[in-house]
Structure formats: C-alpha cells, structure tokens
Amino acid sequence: MRIKQILIGMIASVIAVSSYIEMAIADLKFPMLVYRTGAYAPNGIPNADGFVDYYKMINARDGGIGGEKILHPECETGYKTQVGVECYEKNKKDAMVFQPMSTGITYQLIPKATADGVTIYSTGYGRTSAANGKVFKWVFNAPVTYWDGASIAVRHILKQNFGNIKGKKIALVYHNSAYGKEPIRTLETLSKKHGFKLMLLPVDHPGQEQKATWLKIRKARPNYVLMWGWGVMNQVAIKSAASIKFPMENFIGIWWSGSENDVLPAGQGAHGYKSLTFNAPGTNYQVHADIKKFVHDKGEASGDGSHFGTVLYNRGLFQAMVQVEAATVAQKIHGTSKITPAMYRDGFENINLSAKRLEELGFKDFAPPFKISCENHGGSGLAAVQQWDAKAKKWNMITEYMYGDSDVVQKLIAEDSSKYAAEQKIAERCN
Amino acid sequence: MSVELLNFIETVLNGLMSGVMYSLVALGFVLIFKASGVFNFAQGVFALFAALTLVGYQTGQVPFAHLINELFGTNYHNWYASMPNFLAILLTMVTMIALAWIIERLVLKHLVNQDPIILFMATIGLAFALEGVGDLMWGSDVKVLDVGIPSGGSIWLEEATIGLAAEGSDYYGMYVDVLNIWATVIAVILVVSLALFSQYTKTGRALRAVADDHQAALSVGISLRSIWILVWAISGFIAMVAGIMWGTESGVQFSLSLIALKALPVLILGGFTSIPGAIIGGLLIGVGEKLAEIYIGGYFETGALENWFAYVMALVFLLFRPQGLFGDKIIERV
C-alpha cells in the first residue's frame, strides 16, 4: 500500500514538473545577475528593483511581451566575477539575455555567451570595443560606452575652457579593476591630442581608505578630477574631495559615480559635484505612473519601494525597457511570440528607440533616442552632465546630451576589436 | 623649511591619524583574544552592526520593517522622526551588551574547551549571521551618520603652517582631517580608561587574571562566563566607536565590515595580546602605507599600494618577530 502511494506521488510529481517546464519554455526568460548583498549592495539593490518593477509592470499591464510572460529569476553575484560566471552557467538554458552588472563579469562572459549563443547586454559598461557588432555578434553595450564617456567628460572640460586645455592637469581616480581601467586608453590618446597632463590614481577594492590618493591630489593640484568609481569608493572620494576643498564643479564622475548614494554622505560638501548620465532622474514619466498603478499600488513593489525614481532605479528601468524592446522587435521580425535566444539577438540588432517609440513606451525625454545595427552595438554615444544640488538634495541636468570624440573613440574601438577578432579567430560580419 | 619636508611631515601626520582609525578596530580583537583566546573574525561586522543600530535609533527606523511589512502587509518604516545623539549612543551600547550576552549564551557557552580553530570558525559564522541580521534589521542602503563630530580639513592647521614654507614657494598649508583628530583624542581616552579600569577596579583585575590564566582564575572563584560577557560587551563598545568614526567618514554601509581586514596587519605588528601593541602597530601601518603610496607608488604600474602595503609590512615583520612587537614570546620546550 505504502509503495503504491509513493509511486503515485512520484508520477504526479513528474507530470507537474514536466508541465511546469513546458510552461517555462513558452515564457521569456530574462535571468538577472544581481548584488543585493555585500559591499556593493547599496548600488545593486535600487538597480535590481528598477528591473524587477519594470518586468512586473509589463506582465501586469500588457500580459507580458506579445502575450509571453517574463520570467526574471535572480542570481546573487555579490559583484564577484567568479560567482557571476557560476550564475550564468546555472541560468543560461533558454535565457534570452544576461545583464552582468559588472565589467569584470562581462569580460568573462563574452567568449562563453558567444559560444553558447546567448545575448549579453552591458548597458554603458563592460568591454567598450564590443560596440563593434562586426566582431562582437552577441554583445551589446548601447547607448554609450566608457570611451565615449571619457571623451564626453573631456569635451565638457574643453567647453569650459573655450576649447583650450593645453597644459592643464586632469587626474583620473579609478577603481583598480577591469571597470576602472577602461577609460585609461582613451584619456591617454586625448591627452596627446589636446595637450593636457594625465595623472592616474588607482584605488583598490573596496576604496574605504583613500587618504594617500587625495593627499597626492592636494599636492599636484590637478585642474580637474575624473572618477570611475563604484560603491563606497565614490562616497569616500567625494567626501575626501570636499575635505581637501577641491572645487566640486571640477570633479566629474562617470555615470556609475553619480547616484544619490554617492553624494548624500558628504552632505553640503558634495554640492556642485558633477557626473555624466544617459538617463534622467525623477518620477515625472509615464513609466513611473504605470509602475505605480500596476505594481506599487498592488503591494507588489520590489523591495520596500523606497528607491522609486532614484538614479540607479531609473537606470534599471531603462535597461529593462531596452531588453523588453529587443524581444518585441524579435517577435515582429520572426512573426512569432515564442522566440528563441537566436531570434532575440536579431531583435536586439534591430532596435530603433526613436523619440516617438520612447514616448510610446512611457520614456518621453527620459533618455536620448538611439538605434542599434549590425555594425553598431554601442548606440548613440550620447551622455549629458548632471550636477548635485546638496540643498535641494537632487540632481539637475546642466547640459544637453552630447557626443564624445568619435574620431578618437571609433579608431580605438576598431583597433581593439580587430585585435580581439585576430586572437579569437573571428571573421568580421555585416559586409 | 622646504616644501618637500613639509609635505613629508604632512604624510606622516596623516598616516598616524589613519593608524589610529585602524587601532580602534584592532583594539576590539586584542581585548577578546587576551581574555578568551578567541580570534574574533566578526569584529568588523560588530563595528558595522553598531553603526547600523546607532543610525537606526537616531532616525527612528523600525527594526525588521521590511520583513514585518512583507509578512503582515503593513507599511511601517519609522516610529519617530529623530532621537538625540546621546540617547541613541546609550541605546546602542545597551544593544551591544545584549548582543554580547546572546553570543555567550548561543555560541561561546557551547564551545568551552574546544580548539582555538573551532572558536575561530564559529566567529566566521557569527560574522555572516550578524551581517545578515543587520541587513534584515536595518536594510542595505547607505546611511548618513552624524553624531556631531566635525569633519573636513583643519583650517587652523592650514593657516598655522602656511608660513613655515620658504617665502615665494607654492605651499598652501598642512592638511589633516578634523575627524581624524577627534578619533585620536577618543582613542587616547579609550585606552587610558581601559588601562585604569583593568588596573584599579575589582572587575578589571578579574579580567586580567582571566587573561593571564583561565584555570587559575577559575580556582579563585572568578566567573569565566561573566568575564567573557563583559569582554565581548567592551569590545562591542569599542566596535561602536570604530563604527562611528568610519561611518562618519564614508556613510554606514556593508563595506564597513571589511575594515577588519585593515586590523590584521596591525595585529601582526603589534601582537595579538597587547593593547599598546594595537596602538603602535596601527600607527606604524598607517604611516608605512601612506609613505609607500606617496613616495614609491608611482614606480608600480598597478599602483594602489595603500591597500596592500600593510600586508607586505606585516609579512616582513613576521620573519623577524612572529609574536609581534609587544606580543607574548612563543617559547617551545623540547
């Protein structure tokens, strides 16, 4: 009797599991590599919340993408490269796209995902030369790359100095990792082109102690400081800059060094600090109204909903929107809602987020329009400068979206990607 | 005076001040190791937990709010707008004492007479558990900690030293962060109080007796358990002070627990059993890493010596004096 019961139970379980698997394959799987714990959690959480809230909103408002629900399993990486790779291996089956949320993890996943036929989307981070779609078929880093970012920061400085920065000193304070080292090559090339002196100042993980770095800056008195930081490194750097009375309006961070978390601990000292950005902060957008209506008001907010509208939350929304749009485009191209990972990649390569399309998606004036093509996986290359108002506790956009130095950046991308193609024996496509 | 010499003095001064911050963390390790032979890996998390709790009390945050809201569908976040610093610090101290008691009841009591490695492993587990509890209780956001300690470069020092450089030289005075000056004053008060407590009070003498010899202390009627609770509570208090100092500098966030790693080379240099050792070790490490970063950092392509040079110093030191500057000499009898 007992054996019979066990057998019936086992058969029932097998039927239940197989029907679940069938259902899961029909859905669209967007695995999330997140870091909700560890030293970088304060940045990882709002960003992940943005993703989750957007996916939930699409599922609730539209019934998914073309009727297919979005599955978004989370895997905790703790911002550790090795764990990120394990998360990828665990979740890669039937996955449409991976957003590694770490340049180190992105570098490790590029060859793996290329071999497995899985799309990698590193929004404004990762390997810059992946913008060359002729070589990096499965990797996208639109709308803007680190090398664009470096040249946009220099362009902003040029504008402030009436086009002449010869003899000026610019220091780069950077996270001593694959991420932080990305802009060095571009800045070295730009320093030759414009005649400025470049100081390189690495800061090791996590960046809790930077006194010697800022003593060096105090002695050398650079005219400008650029920062490629992440996590506690940003907060300590901004506070240290304020402490040595470095003029904050001459301190410019990359878009990952420009969230509320980075400036609030420095209090009034952070007033005037600048950072680049490729998306707007705030909640005055249709997408926020929809998320509020379909997710938050139903008590379904990711986390406690306290990050709603912050810089990193909004970036998560933007990243998720691009990923969802790729699926929509893929469904249109292939005439089916049940797309495969290969079809999804085709969708990504044909994204056209025009101003009109952004408005339709609830992102009017949220980010500049951009297009992805077979050759260009890096998008528009546009970013703006935002400045922190410590009294009002808010970021203000102080420039229009602007291009970097495409002559320099495109040449470097071509050089680096051809080197990679030669190493990996990749034949260029899109011809 | 030449600008180079003034810059050198400035680097040494800043190194000393940073060293005091490391010593604050190392002190907690030394106290527990002396009294119970346990190398408390969780000391960094203690500092984090204390700082999180302090901000929580200051801002009236409801502990475990996220969990409560998730389970009961409620929307509690804060139960009052703010609390005076003094009261918040007092409540945090009470919490740290309660934590010491819980640790003794749940962990240490069950591991009496176990090998030191077992106790060490237990503290690793404790570190992860406490970090998780801290996350659940207070959330993972970066929190602004302000207990009224001033911070920023000292204008007085800058103005007082600007005239020391030769006339016409490009010098703009010496820089020291006021927060670090406060940390130094607090560390001195802390060490003097600890010395007076252990020298002139009955409990302090009992504490020293336990540190010298557990068995002998037991034989004269000293309660090992109450001494352990006391020591863990004191090191919890020191962790709170360290948490306040570090948290004021960077905001309270989970990377704060990694400051424990800064204390390891300090302990190797100063010895695991000496309070003056923790102070001197911290100062040596602080000065060493700042001088290395500024004067030889440029010769290394990778740079960022500030973070790892302390370990190089500690390793070199181990070759010549494995017990540390002030540690008990290791005597092996054959």
Which residue in chain B has the smallest CA separation from A175? Answer: B304
Q: B35 pLDDT exceeds 90?
A: no
Q: What is residue B306's predicted lDDT score, i.e. its pLDDT?
A: 84
Structural contact between residues B245 and B28, judged by C-beta atoms closer than 8 angstroms: no
Q: Tens digit of pLDDT for each residue in B199-210? A: 899 998 998 888
Q: A165 pLDDT exceeds 70?
A: yes
B303 is written with which tokens? 């740079």
State pTM to two decimals.
Answer: 0.89
Give me chain A's average pLDDT, please: 93
Q: What is residue B111's predicted lDDT score, i.e. its pLDDT?
A: 86
Does B276 contact chain A (CB < 8 Å)?
Answer: no
Q: What is residue A373's predicted lDDT score, i.e. its pLDDT?
A: 97
* B74 occurs within a structural domain: yes
Site from B23, B144, B155, B249 to mutate, A interface, most A CB atoms within 10 angstroms? B249
Q: What is residue B115's predicted lDDT score, i.e. its pLDDT?
A: 87
Q: What is residue A426's predicted lDDT score, i.e. its pLDDT?
A: 94
Strands A28-29 and A70-71: parallel
CB-CB neighbors (< 8 A) of A232 in chain B: 250-251, 253, 255
B9–chain A nearest CA distance, Å = 12
Quote the CA–CA distance of B30 and B38 in Å, as a whole number: 9
Which residue in chain B has the smallest CA separation from A176? Answer: B304
For chain A, the residues whose C-beta falls within 8 A of a C-beta of chain B are 36-42, 45, 176, 200-206, 208-213, 215-216, 218-219, 231-232, 235-236, 239, 242-245, 261, 264-265, 267, 269, 299, 303-304, 306
- ω into residue A42 within 30 of 0, thus cis? no
- Three-state DSSP state, A276: strand
The better pLDDT of the pair A410, B169 is held by A410
Contact at CB, B255 and A265, closer than 8 angstroms: no
CB-CB neighbors (< 8 A) of B256 in chain A: 208
Structural contact between residues A25 and A94, judged by C-beta atoms closer than 8 angstroms: yes
Contact at CB, A42 and B141, closer than 8 angstroms: yes
Neighbouring CB atoms inside 10 A of B271's CB total 25
Contact at CB, A235 and B302, closer than 8 angstroms: no
Backbone angles phi, psi at A386, to 5 degrees: -115, 155
CB-CB neighbors (< 8 A) of A308 in chain B: none
* B95 occurs within a structural domain: yes
Q: What is residue B259's predicted lDDT score, i.e. its pLDDT?
A: 85
Q: Where in the sequence is the domain holding B61, given as residue range(s)? A: 3-260
Does B101 contact chain A (CB < 8 Å)?
Answer: no
* B279 occurs within a structural domain: no
* B219 occurs within a structural domain: yes
Structural contact between residues A344 and A330, judged by C-beta atoms closer than 8 angstroms: yes
Q: A13 pLDDT exceeds 70?
A: no
Out of B69, B142, B302, name the one closest to residue A235 (CB). Answer: B142
Q: What is residue B261's predicted lDDT score, i.e. its pLDDT?
A: 85
Of the candidates B313, B321, B330, B323, which has an alpha carbon nearest to the alpha carbon of residue B19? B313
Domain count within chain B: 1
Out of B7, B262, B303, name the one closest to residue A219 (CB). Answer: B7
CB-CB neighbors (< 8 A) of A244 in chain B: 153, 175
CB-CB neighbors (< 8 A) of A210 in chain B: 306
Which residue in chain A has the smallest CA separation from B10? Answer: A215
* B184 occurs within a structural domain: yes
Q: Chains A, B: CB contacts under 8 A, how many?
A: 122
Q: Tens digit of pLDDT for each residue in A71-108? A: 999 999 999 999 999 999 999 999 999 999 999 999 99
* B320 occurs within a structural domain: no
> Which domains does chain A show, CATH number per domain?
2-144+281-379 (3.40.50.2300), 146-277 (3.40.50.2300)
CB-CB neighbors (< 8 A) of B135 in chain A: 37, 41
Q: B86 pLDDT exceeds 70?
A: yes
Q: Tens digit of pLDDT for each residue in B294-307? A: 998 877 766 788 88
Does B249 contact chain A (CB < 8 Å)?
Answer: yes
Out of A42, A216, A306, name the one closest to residue B253 (CB). Answer: A42
Q: A23 pLDDT exceeds 60?
A: no
Give me chain B's average pLDDT, please: 90
A218 is written with which tokens? 């105090």
Q: A16 pLDDT exceeds 80?
A: no
Contact at CB, A243 and B139, closer than 8 angstroms: no
Q: B97 pLDDT exceeds 50?
A: yes
Out of A212, A219, A243, name the one closest to residue B306 (CB). Answer: A212
* B300 occurs within a structural domain: no
- Three-state DSSP state, A338: coil
CB-CB neighbors (< 8 A) of A393 in chain B: none
A83–chain B nearest CA distance, Å = 17
A391 is written with which tokens? 């009294």
Q: Tens digit of pLDDT for each residue in B229-255? A: 999 999 999 999 999 999 998 899 998
Does B69 contact chain A (CB < 8 Å)?
Answer: yes
A211–chain B nearest CA distance, Å = 8
* B135 occurs within a structural domain: yes
CB-CB neighbors (< 8 A) of B306 in chain A: 203-204, 209-213
Q: What is residue A24's predicted lDDT score, i.e. its pLDDT?
A: 43
DSSP line for A168-226 = -EEEEEEESSHHHHTTHHHHHHHHHHHT-EEEEEEE-SS-S--HHHHHHHHHH--SEEE
Give CA separation, A45 vs A118, A229, A234, A310, in Å. 25, 17, 16, 11
Q: What is the mean pLDDT of residues A304-323?
A: 94
